[in-house]
Chain A
Amino acid sequence: MNNNTLEKKSLGASFKRFIFNNKVILLFVLLSIACIAISGSSVSYIAGEVISRFARNTCIVLALIIPCMAGLGMNFGIVVGAIAAQISIFWIVHWGFTGITGFLLCVLMSTPLAIFFGWLLGKLFNKTKGAEMIAGLVLGFFAAGLYRLFVLYIMGGVIPYNSPYLLDRGFGLRNAFDLTGNIKYAVDDISLLTTISVLAVLLFVSTVIVALHDKKQGNAIDTKKVLGKLVAAIVLLAVGLVGKSVPMLDQLFGQKRLITYDAVFFGSIIYLVYLALMLVLKRKEPKKLVASAVLAVVLLASCFVPAVKTVYLGTRIPAMAFALIAFFAAFNNWLVNTRLGQNMRTVGQSRAVATSAGIDVNKTRIIATCISTVLAAWGQLIFLQNLGTFNTVQQQDNVGLYAVAAILVGGANVQKATNKQAIIGVILFHTLFVVAPLAATKLVGDSAVSEYIRMFFSYGVIAVSLAMHAWKTSGKKKA
Chain B
Amino acid sequence: MENEYVLKMEGIAKEYYGNRVLKGVELKVKRGEIHALMGENGAGKSTLMNILFGMPVIHSTGGFEGTIEFDGKPVNIDNPHTAMELGIGMVHQEFMLIPGFTVTENVKLGREITEPTVASSIFGKSLEKLDKPTMAADTRKALDTIGLGVEEYAMVAGMPVGYMQFVEIAREIDKTGIKLLIFDEPTAVLTETEAERLLDTMRVIASKGIAIIFITHRINEVIDVTDSMTVLRDGTFVDRLETKDTTAARIAELMIGRKVEKLVDDTDEDNRVISDDDIMLSLKDFYVEMPGEKVKGVDLQVRRGEVLGIGGLAGQGKVGIPNGILGLYPAEGEIIFDGEKVEPSKLGDALHKGIAFVSEDRRGVGLLLEESIEQNTIFTSMQIQGKFLKKFGPITQFDKKAAKEHTLNMIKALDIRCTGPDQYAGRLSGGNQQKVCLARAITMEPKLLVVSEPTRGIDIGAKKLVLELLAKMNREQGMTIIMVSSELNELRSLCDRIAIVSDGKLAGIFAPDASDAEYGLAMSGVTEGGQA
Contacts and interface: CB of A to CB of B under 8 A. Distances in A.
Contacts of B127: 338-340
A231 to B, nearest CB: 19
Contact of A338 (B56, B98, B100, B114): B114
A339 B109 contact: no
B97 A353 contact: yes
A217 interface: yes
A342 B121 contact: no
Interface stretch (A136-144, A263-271, A289-297, A354-362): A354-362
Contact of B109 (A213, A217, A346, A352): A346
B116 A219 contact: yes
A213 B100 CA distance: 35
Contact of B126 (A219, A337, A339, A357): A339
B118 A209 contact: yes
Interface string B395-416: 0000000000000000000000
Contacts of B126: 338-340, 343
B52 to A, nearest CB: 14
Contacts of B141: none
Interface in B25-57: 56
B109 A353 contact: yes
Interface string A218-229: 010000000000
A339 B80 contact: no
Q: Which of B79, B92, B110, B120 has the most CB of A within 10 A?
A: B110
A36 to B, nearest CB: 38
Contacts of A340: 126-127
Interface string A357-384: 1110000000000000000000000000
A356 B130 contact: no
B352 interface: no
Interface string A260-287: 0000000000000000000000000000
Nearest to B79: A358
B128 interface: yes
Q: Which of A343, A355, A356 has the most CB of B within 10 A?
A: A356
B127 to A, nearest CB: 5
B125 interface: yes
Contact of A339 (B79, B98, B125): B125
Contacts of A353: 96-98, 109
B81 interface: yes
A217 B120 CA distance: 13
Contacts of B194: none
A382 to B, nearest CB: 22
Contacts of B96: 352-353, 356-357
Contact of B118 (A210, A343, A349): A210
B374 interface: no
A374 to B, nearest CB: 13
Contacts of A213: 116, 118, 121
A14 interface: no
B80 A338 contact: no
B5 interface: no
A214 interface: yes
B84 interface: yes
A53 B404 CA distance: 67
Interface in B85-109: 90, 92, 96-101, 105, 109
Contacts of B90: 356
A353 B92 CA distance: 10
Contacts of A346: 98, 101, 109-110
A339 B112 contact: yes
A216 to B, nearest CB: 9
Interface string B254-282: 00000000000000000000000000000
B423 interface: no
A210 B127 CA distance: 14
Nearest to A213: B121
A338 B118 contact: no
Interface residues of A, number: 25
B129 interface: yes
A478 to B, nearest CB: 16
B191 interface: no
B178 to A, nearest CB: 14
Contacts of B97: 353
Nearest to A354: B110
B145 interface: no
A206 interface: yes
B3 interface: no
B117 interface: yes
Nearest to A367: B126
Nearest to A353: B96
A358 B130 contact: no
Contact of A358 (B84, B115, B128): B84
Contacts of A209: 118, 121
Nearest to A350: B98
A226 to B, nearest CB: 13
A44 B436 CA distance: 74
A358 B129 contact: no
A56 to B, nearest CB: 27
Contacts of B115: 219
Nearest to B106: A353
B110 A358 contact: yes
Q: Which of A209, A338, A343 has the most CB of B within 10 A?
A: A338
Contacts of A354: 110
A339 B96 CA distance: 19
B81 A358 contact: yes
B128 A217 contact: no
A63 to B, nearest CB: 18
B105 A342 contact: yes
A349 B98 contact: yes
A337 B130 contact: yes
Contacts of B129: 337-338
B118 A357 contact: no
A340 to B, nearest CB: 4
Nearest to A349: B98
Contacts of B98: 346, 349-350, 353
Contacts of B110: 343, 346, 354, 357-359
A358 B111 CA distance: 9
Contacts of A342: 105, 112, 130
Interface in A329-343: 337-340, 342-343
Nearest to B115: A219
A213 B127 CA distance: 14
B118 A206 contact: yes
A346 B129 CA distance: 16
A443 B100 CA distance: 47
Q: Which of A339, A343, A349, A359 has the most CB of B within 10 A?
A: A339
Interface in B436-456: none
A356 B109 CA distance: 10
Nearest to A364: B126
Interface string A149-169: 000000000000000000000
Contacts of A219: 115-116
Given A356-B92, A359-B110, A339 B128 contact: yes
Nearest to B128: A339
Q: Which of B84, B92, B112 has the most CB of A within 10 A?
A: B112
20 contacts: A209-B121, A210-B117, A213-B121, A214-B116, A217-B116, A338-B120, A338-B129, A339-B114, A339-B127, A340-B127, A342-B112, A343-B110, A349-B98, A353-B109, A355-B56, A356-B90, A357-B110, A358-B79, A358-B80, A359-B110
Given A338-B120, A357-B96, A358-B79, 13 more contacts: A210-B118, A338-B126, A339-B112, A339-B126, A342-B112, A343-B110, A343-B126, A346-B98, A346-B101, A353-B97, A353-B98, A357-B109, A357-B110
The 7 closest A-B pairs by CB, nearest first: A357-B110, A358-B81, A340-B126, A349-B98, A357-B109, A353-B96, A213-B121
